Amino acid sequence: MQLKQILDEIIRIGTTYPEYAIGSLIPILPLSIGIITRKYATKSSRLILYFVIFFIVTDIPTWITTALDINNLLYNDTKIYSINIFLLSVYFLGIKRSSDRIVLFSFLSIMCGGLVFQLFGIIEKGKYNWINVLLLGSIAVWYFVRLIDYPKIRDLLIYPFFWFNTGILFYCFSTLLIYFFFQFSITPDIKSHTYFLFRSILEYLTSVMFILFAVGFWNLKKNAQIKLK
Amino acid sequence: MKFSIETYLILGTSMLIFFILSFIVFVVYYQRKQFKLEIKQNEEKQAIELEFQKKLLENSMEVQEIERRRLAKDLHDEVGALLSVLKMGNNQLVKKEVEDESIKKLVNNNKELIDESIGLVRSISKDLVPQTLENFGLIHAIEEFFNKIEKNSSIEFKFLHKNISEKSRFAPKVELSVFRIIQELSNNALKHSEASKIDLILNFENNTMFLIFADNGVGFSMEEVLRNPNSGLGIRNIESRLSIINGAIKILNPEKGTRFEIEISDCHEKN
């Protein structure tokens, strides 16, 4: 298949299933804002920006393989695993207490172990993604609990990591059931109506996460100005 | 009625989203509440610290006044009495017929020195404790003070008072502080300003005392004064006194000279 044919097929898929196109194009919004406000970026926000780039880059093979009608389920599940591992790693920057780091490290080990087992076929593809989002979500909840006891932040709504964490929390708990039900009904038949419905919801929910990331990047400048004051 | 897996999923996910949003709203609300509480606690702490410092300052000023009073009393009662005895002895010597001219001259000279010393002791003890202020009030004390320094300097003093009669009395703490501030400003002007004229306006309106002290001298830079740790003690002293009586000072540098504007709020006239 020629490049033009691949592009035509991608456009056809994108117009037939606009939710997929939206899910893939939305990350450009936080990327653009993140680039604009990059001089105010902290270590953690820079890592979130790298995550957005990672997401965009790893999405390209999904589109190409779909256009070529190649089964990319393993790739997609590996990508989801990597996304969760990447997002969990972001919390390492904000955590200084050793006991907290141990919890984080054990969660990371579970995720990495799951990824390796999945790649070697020891566990079924995508069967335990829900555990990953549950672990990541619990870290996001825990981070908020810590944030409550940190009254030095004048306004949470302009604190960038509040929005990043909200995005992660939203992504984890809103997709939890989808990942949980995937293992029972969808994985065997990727072309079923249920699969497309679940994937569509997943795309929309992931888009919300990126919109919240964009708000976080937007607030980088405001937050830096307040810190200077 | 049988629900499909899609219905369960959509319902479940909607509920989860609702819980997440509620949780986030709670986090924002709780954090704001905590932040406000922290600010309130800090403000209360600062107010307590400020009050404590004020009390400390007030006590130190009181101690200073007590010490001045003691010194004035000692000077008057002890040194003054001794000088009076000395004067009496010297007077007896004056009365005696002495043929030696040099001794006569010495005795007369001693008499002059003793009189001068008695006058000086009286003047110092009067400066230490402003009796006029205590007995007759602020206006009389200021007038007396200005008359005294006008005699010994080339500066022309002009004192104007509005809405304060000569009989007006205020809390002793306020009267004493205002008088000491005027003394401090006048001494500073005499020492550094090279002024030929000093104007003082004292006004009292709505329980607030306004004081304007202006000279036509060379002026000064407040920044420079504050930068030098060895200077500006007078200004700091004034600020300390004002902090005790709810007062504030503004230092202005007009084209010529210096202008001090003092406002003392919550100041009640005594009947």
Mean pLDDT of chain A: 86
| Distance from the Cα of residue A136 to its chain's centroid | 10
- Reported as a pLDDT band with limits 50, 70 and 90, residue B42 is very high
- Reported as a pLDDT band with limits 50, 70 and 90, residue B2 is low
Higher-confidence residue of A85 and B131: namely: A85
- Reported as a pLDDT band with limits 50, 70 and 90, residue A225 is confident
- Reported as a pLDDT band with limits 50, 70 and 90, residue B65 is confident
Q: In this predicted structure, what is the pLDDT of residue A29?
A: 95
Q: Which CATH superfamily, name and number, covers B130-271?
A: Histidine kinase-like ATPase, C-terminal domain (3.30.565.10)
The 10s digit of each residue's pLDDT in B197-247 is 999 999 999 889 999 999 988 887 777 777 777 777 788 888 888 988 889
From A137, which residue of chain B is nearest by alpha-carbon distance? B20
The 10s digit of each residue's pLDDT in A162-214 is 999 999 999 999 998 888 877 665 455 556 677 778 888 888 999 999 999 99
Asked if B34 contacts B26 with a C-beta cutoff of 8 angstroms, the reply is: no
Least Cα separation, residue A182 to chain B (angstroms): 10
- Per-residue pLDDT, averaged over B42-58, amounts to 90
Which of A141, A189, A188 lies closest to A166, judged by CA?
A141
Sheet holding B258-264: strands in order across?
B156-162, B197-205, B208-215, B258-264, B247-252
**How is B4-54 classified by DSSP, letter by letter?**
-HHHHHHHHHHHHHHHHHHHHHHHHHHHHHHHHHHHHHHHHHHHHHHHHHH
From B38, which residue of chain A is nearest by alpha-carbon distance? A151
Contact across the interface for A147 and B27, Cβ inside 8 Å = yes
Contact across the interface for B5 and A181, Cβ inside 8 Å = yes
Give the whole-angstrom CA distance, residue A136 versus residue A169.
Answer: 8
User: Residue B224's CB: how many other CB atoms inside 10 A?
Assistant: 10
Mean pLDDT of chain B: 87
Asked if A136 contacts A179 with a C-beta cutoff of 8 angstroms, the reply is: no
Chain B interface disruption, residue of A133, A146, A147, A148, most B CBs within 10 A: A148
Which chain B residues contact residue A156 at CB under 8 A?
27-28, 31-32
ipTM score of the complex?
Answer: 0.86
Which chain A residues contact residue B34 at CB under 8 A?
148-149, 151
Asked if B250 contacts B151 with a C-beta cutoff of 8 angstroms, the reply is: no
Number of folded domains that form chain A: 1
The 10s digit of each residue's pLDDT in A15-67 is 988 888 999 999 999 999 999 999 998 888 999 999 999 999 999 999 999 88
Strand pairing report for B269-270 and B247-252? unpaired
Nearest beta carbon to residue A197 from set B6, B16, B37: B6
Contact across the interface for B24 and A169, Cβ inside 8 Å = yes
Q: In this predicted structure, what is the pLDDT of residue B33?
A: 87
B50 class by beta-carbon count within 10 Å (0-12 exposed, 13-18 middle, 19+ buried)? exposed
Q: Which range of residues forms the domain containing residue A194? A: 3-228
Contact across the interface for B31 and A170, Cβ inside 8 Å = no
Q: In this predicted structure, what is the pLDDT of residue B142?
A: 92
Which chain A residues contact residue B30 at CB under 8 A?
148
Query: What are the DSSP E strand ranges found in B74-207?
Result: 156-162, 169-170, 197-205
- Give whichever of A118-122, A163-167, B3-7 has the largest mean pLDDT: A163-167
Give the whole-angstrom CA distance, residue B74 versus residue B68.
Answer: 10
Contact across the interface for A181 and B9, Cβ inside 8 Å = yes
Q: Where are the domains of chain B?
A: 1-129, 130-271
CATH number for the domain harbouring residue A36: 1.20.1070
Nearest beta carbon to residue A151 from set B19, B20, B38: B38
Contact across the interface for B20 and A170, Cβ inside 8 Å = yes
Q: In this predicted structure, what is the pLDDT of residue A216?
A: 94
